[in-house]
């Protein structure tokens, strides 16, 4: 399989969107703002009537990318179900929005540990001793809970050390420019998370040569690295793609990059705690060890805490502390959440974890088998993400809205998160979803996809084994 390589443009993905929305740029932004935001700040012509920040709002609203987004908001008002405010939640993922109760299949707390009493107790017990906030950049001071949490993570993952940041985004933005600089080449998988691309652009601004690859294979990466005269090579890629739940071929890519004297950098945020032995992630599952790569993990999602981390050695951690701007100038993870991270690590390293994971996998399997029975096409891997293929943007939003009206929330994923005609209904399965909720979702999908005439497969793909 061949792959395409091109230099990254920060507005490239957004600008491709102009081909699928003919109204972009044709709508008066001021009048659109008046309709979207209410007329109190605008006169009858749509002009700003106030002072303060309104001139800034007008200037930013006139930007071509913002115009596209505003046109999108108007065209899909009430359908896209983004930025919703949940009014309450229950232990089994029942939630309320706009007075309507629904089953929430949009939560990435995959293992249900956000509702676990031990995690709650760890947070509560740490409050009297440490307070709600550390009150300083980690470059100046950290509570001993930081060292304890990083040591627990290292013990769980079988590495010598880890380095905690306040989020995965800040991890990627801080680490990638620290490890790829002037004279180096940084190869980035096009499907990687946005925060990887953000970090890569900062590395490029610091002098690294940035190459973006579509559908990376060992051969195309090898050919690319052979053509480039660089001091060092880093390849950044997701362990689990956030939209499809699939994983790339990490074994071949790792061997290829190391064969050229480089290192593989894997953002495994969606695999952390869910994929691989003891939930050590897709990279560990593929490679059998994290010793020769840098693996970034999430401390939210399956951990249900707060933060992100990167695997390292003590020596490398010292260097990253010197070179990572988000460590020096970013805030810390609050101490109570550091205690909670330790509690979750203890759960992951206990026999009980396999029971929790078994519960999750049974529910993932139930969703997949149900989709197979319906003949619906979907993307999946070993993670807790199952994405039903819709295709058309309008149909994707309509399907999400109709599912919500039937009492089920899934995420309608459209361009630029996926290809233009690659709209998905992204289901995030949790260990604390009831079988009744899953069966209800499948029945609702049957009704909605028939109503919208979403295509079905005559012979569905086989389900990937979770055993």
Q: What is the mean pLDDT of the chain?
A: 88
State mean pLDDT over 178-202.
97
pLDDT score at 62:
86
Supply 459's token pair: 């012979």
Same domain, 95 and 126: no
State whether residue 319 is helix, strand or coil: helix
For residue 237, is it within any domain? Answer: yes
Residue 19 has pLDDT above 60, yes or no: no
Same domain, 313 and 297: yes
pLDDT tens across 388-437, in order? 999 999 999 999 999 999 999 999 998 888 888 999 999 999 999 999 99
pLDDT score at 7:
34
ω before 416 within 30° of 0 (cis)? yes
Same domain, 68 and 97: no
pLDDT tens across 354-387, in order? 999 999 999 999 999 999 999 999 999 999 999 9
pLDDT tens across 202-224, in order? 999 999 999 999 999 999 999 99
pLDDT tens across 84-142, in order? 788 899 999 999 998 899 999 999 999 999 999 999 999 999 999 999 999 888 999 99
Domain boundary residue, one of 75, 97, 131: 75
DSSP 98: T
Q: How many residues does the chain have?
A: 467
With DSSP H G I counted as helix, E B as strand and the rest as coil, what are the percentages for the chain, rounded to 5?
45, 15, 40
Same domain, 186 and 212: yes
Does 213 or 12 have the greater pLDDT score? 213
Domain of 20 in residue numbering reads as 4-75
Give the CATH number of the domain where residue 445 resides: 3.90.1150.10
**Strands, E assignment, 363-459:** 378-380, 385-391, 408-409, 411-413, 423-428
Same domain, 162 and 294: yes
pLDDT score at 73:
73
Same domain, 359 and 410: yes
Residue 52 pLDDT class (50, 70, 90 cuts)? confident
Residue 50, Cβ density class (10 Å: 0-12 exposed, 13-18 middle, ≥19 buried): exposed
| Full-model pTM | 0.87
Same domain, 356 and 344: no
Supply 320's token pair: 């990253």
Picking from 449, 451, 459, 464, the residue whose alpha carbon sits closest to that of residue 391 is 449
- Strands 4-6 and 209-214 come out as antiparallel
pLDDT tens across 247-304, in order? 999 999 999 999 999 999 999 999 999 999 999 999 999 999 999 999 999 999 999 9
Domain count along the chain:
3
Give the CATH number of the domain where residue 129 resides: 3.40.640.10
Supply 409's token pair: 């929330």
pLDDT score at 2:
42
For residue 215, is it within any domain? Answer: yes
For residue 189, is it within any domain? Answer: yes
For residue 44, is it within any domain? Answer: yes
pLDDT score at 93:
95
Same domain, 13 and 43: yes
Biggest distance spanned by C-alpha atoms of the chain: 66
């Amino acid at each position: 399989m061949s792959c395409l390589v091109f230099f990254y443009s920060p507005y490239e993905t957004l600008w491709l969107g102009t081909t699928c929305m003919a109204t972009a740029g044709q709508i008066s932004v001021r009048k659109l703002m008046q309709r979207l935001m209410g007329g109190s700040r605008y006169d009858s012509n749509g002009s700003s009537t106030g002072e303060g920040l309104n001139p800034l709002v007008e200037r930013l609203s006139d930007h071509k990318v913002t115009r596209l987004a505003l046109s999108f908001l108007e065209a899909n008002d009430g359908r896209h179900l983004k930025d919703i405010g949940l009014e309450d939640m229950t232990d089994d993922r029942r939630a309320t929005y706009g007075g309507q109760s629904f089953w929430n299949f949009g939560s990435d707390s995959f293992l249900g540990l956000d509702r676990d009493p031990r995690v709650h107790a760890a947070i509560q017990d740490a409050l009297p001793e440490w307070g709600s906030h550390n009150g300083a950049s980690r470059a100046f001071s950290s509570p001993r809970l930081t060292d304890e949490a990083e040591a627990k993570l290292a013990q769980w993952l079988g590495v010598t050390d880890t380095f905690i940041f306040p989020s995965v985004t800040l991890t990627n933005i801080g680490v990638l420019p620290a490890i790829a600089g002037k004279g180096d080449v940084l190869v980035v998988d096009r499907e990687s998370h946005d925060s990887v691309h953000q970090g890569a652009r900062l590395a490029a601004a610091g002098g690294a040569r940035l190459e973006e690859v579509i559908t990376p294979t060992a051969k195309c990466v090898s050919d690319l690295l052979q053509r480039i005269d660089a001091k060092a090579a880093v390849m950044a890629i997701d362990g689990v793609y956030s939209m499809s739940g699939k994983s790339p071929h990490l074994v071949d890519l790792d061997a290829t990059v190391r064969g050229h004297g480089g290192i593989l950098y894997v953002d495994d945020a969606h695999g952390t705690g869910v994929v691989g032995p003891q939930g050590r992630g897709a990279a560990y599952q593929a490679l059998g060890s994290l010793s020769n790569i840098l693996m970034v993990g999430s401390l939210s999602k399956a951990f249900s805490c707060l933060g992100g981390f990167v695997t390292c050695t003590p020596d490398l951690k010292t260097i990253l502390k010197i070179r990572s701007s988000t460590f020096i100038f970013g805030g810390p993870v609050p101490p109570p959440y550091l205690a909670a991270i330790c509690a979750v690590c203890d759960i992951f390293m206990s026999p009980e974890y396999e029971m929790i994971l078994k519960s999750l996998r049974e529910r993932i399997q139930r969703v997949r088998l149900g989709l197979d029975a319906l003949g619906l096409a979907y993307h999946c891997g070993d993670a807790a993400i199952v994405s039903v293929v819709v295709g058309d943007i309008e149909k994707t939003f309509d399907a999400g809205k109709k599912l919500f009206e039937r009492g089920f929330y899934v995420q309608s994923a459209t361009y630029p998160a996926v290809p233009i005609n690659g709209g998905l209904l992204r289901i995030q399965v949790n260990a604390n979803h009831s079988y009744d909720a899953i069966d209800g979702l499948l029945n609702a999908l049957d009704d909605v996809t028939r109503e919208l005439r979403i295509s079905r497969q005559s012979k569905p793909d086989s389900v990937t084994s979770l055993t």
